[in-house]
C-alpha cells in the first residue's frame, strides 16, 4: 500500500513510469480506496504501462486479461478441464461400476452417479482464467483488463458483479470470495462508449499525449545516452507530427524508439535527411510518411 501521493510518485518512477501529480494522486486513491481504475485515452499514451508500473510499484502479481471482440465469460473467468475429467472417469470406471452395482433401475443408477457428481466438478478440474485467478489469489495481485472497449457490452455486465462484490459464482462450487482484494486497472481507447454502470464503479483517469516538458523528461529517463539537443529536437518534432492531420500520431513509445534509432545511426542532430531516413520508425502508415517527407520544414521547425 502506498503511504502518500509523493510516495506513490516515487515508487511509480522507480518502476519505470514518470507520473504527473494527477496520475500519482489517482493511483494513490485507487489503491487506498480499493476502487477499480479506468484509464482512457488514445492509443500509445502509456495506459497499459501505467498498470504495469502500478503492479511493480505496489509489489503485486500482475494478472492480465486482454480483451477482444467475442471474449466471453468462460474465457475471462474459468473453464472445466473436460479432458482431465474424462481421463479420471476412465481411470475410475471400476469404482463407478461398483457404485452403480445392484441398482434395480437406470434412474437409481443415475442418482447414485449424481451423488458423486461433485467429485468431477471440484477445484481439481477447474481451470481459472484471469478474473478468477485474481479473485482467488492468495497473494496481492493487480488485474489488468486491457482494452475493455474491444470486448462486447455483455462482458461489462459480467464485470459489474466482480467489481462490486469481489466475488464470483461458480454454479458447481458456489460463491468464491476474494481472499486478498485485488487492485483492478481497466484501459480503454474509447473505440466505443462504456456503460455508466461500469464508470460509476471506477475511479477515472484520462491520459493524453504528454506535454513537451514531460515527454522530454521521459526521453531523458529512458534514453539517457541521447544528448540534450537531440532529445529536445526529437520531442519537438514528435509534437509537431501530432499537430498534423495524420492517420496515426506518434505515441510516446515511438518517440523513444525514434531517439534510440537516431543514436544507433550516430546522428547528432535531426535534420531533413535523418528525418526522411527514420520516419518509418515513428510513423506506421506509408501515406503519413510520404506526406511528412514532402513537408519536412513543418516538422523540423
pLDDT tens for each residue of 116-161: 555 555 566 677 889 989 998 999 999 999 999 999 888 888 888 7
Closest C-alpha among 235, 220, 295, 244 to residue 270: 235
Grid cell, residue 87, equals: 481421463
Rounded CA-CA distance 288/281 in Å is: 12
Give residue 72's pLDDT: 79
What is the percent of the chain with per-residue pLDDT over 90, rounded to a whole number?
63
- 275 pLDDT band (50/70/90 cuts)? very high
Mean pLDDT over each residue of the chain, to the nearest integer: 87
Residues 28-40: tens digit of each pLDDT: 999 999 999 999 9
Helices (H) and strands (E) in the chain, counts: 16, 9
Q: Which residues have C-beta within 8 Å of that of residue 86, sequence separation ≥ 6? A: none
Give residue 254's pLDDT: 94
Residues 204-247: tens digit of each pLDDT: 999 999 999 999 999 999 999 999 999 999 999 999 999 998 99
For residues 299 and 240, the answer to whether their CB atoms sit within 8 Å is: yes
Higher pLDDT, 192 or 141: 141
Rounded CA-CA distance 199/280 in Å is: 38
pLDDT above 90 (res 162): no
Please state the rounded mean pLDDT for residues 67-90.
Answer: 70
Give residue 62's pLDDT: 97
This prediction's pTM: 0.80
Rounded CA-CA distance 112/95 in Å is: 12
Rounded CA-CA distance 213/193 in Å is: 31
- 114 pLDDT band (50/70/90 cuts)? low
Give residue 83's pLDDT: 55
Amino acid at each position: 500500500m502506498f503511504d502518500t501521493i509523493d510516495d506513490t510518485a516515487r515508487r511509480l518512477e522507480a518502476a519505470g513510469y514518470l507520473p504527473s501529480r494527477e496520475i500519482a494522486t489517482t493511483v494513490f486513491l485507487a489503491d487506498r480506496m480499493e476502487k477499480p481504475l479506468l484509464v482512457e485515452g488514445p492509443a500509445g499514451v502509456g495506459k497499459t504501462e501505467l498498470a504495469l508500473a502500478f503492479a511493480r510499484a505496489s509489489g503485486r502479481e500482475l494478472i492480465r486479461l486482454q480483451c477482444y471482440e467475442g471474449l466471453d465469460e468462460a474465457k475471462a473467468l474459468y473453464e472445466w478441464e473436460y479432458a482431465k475429467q474424462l481421463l479420471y472417469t476412465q481411470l475410475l470406471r471400476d469404482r463407478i461400476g461398483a457404485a452403480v452395482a445392484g441398482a434395480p433401475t437406470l434412474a437409481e443408477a443415475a442418482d447414485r452417479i449424481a451423488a458423486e457428481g461433485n467429485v468431477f466438478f471440484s477445484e481439481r478440474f477447474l481451470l481459472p482464467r484471469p478474473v478468477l485467478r485474481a479473485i482467488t489469489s492468495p497473494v496481492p495481485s493487480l488485474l489488468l483488463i486491457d482494452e475493455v472497449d474491444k470486448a462486447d457490452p455483455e462482458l461489462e455486465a459480467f464485470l459489474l458483479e466482480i467489481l462490486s462484490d469481489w466475488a464470483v459464482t461458480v454454479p458447481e462450487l458456489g460463491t468464491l470470495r476474494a481472499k486478498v482484494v485485488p487492485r483492478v486497472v481497466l484501459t480503454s481507447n474509447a473505440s466505443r462508449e462504456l456503460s455508466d454502470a461500469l464508470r460509476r464503479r471506477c475511479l477515472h483517469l484520462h491520459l493524453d499525449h504528454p506535454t513537451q516538458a514531460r515527454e522530454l523528461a521521459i526521453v531523458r529517463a529512458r534514453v539517457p545516452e541521447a544528448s540534450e539537443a537531440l532529445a529536445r529536437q526529437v520531442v519537438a518534432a514528435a509534437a509537431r507530427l501530432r499537430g498534423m492531420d495524420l492517420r496515426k500520431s506518434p505515441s510516446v513509445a515511438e518517440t523513444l524508439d525514434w531517439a534510440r534509432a537516431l543514436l544507433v545511426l550516430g546522428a547528432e542532430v535531426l535534420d531533413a535527411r535523418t528525418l526522411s531516413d527514420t520516419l518509418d520508425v515513428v510513423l506506421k502508415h506509408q501515406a503519413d510518411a510520404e506526406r511528412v517527407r514532402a513537408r519536412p520544414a513543418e516538422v523540423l521547425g
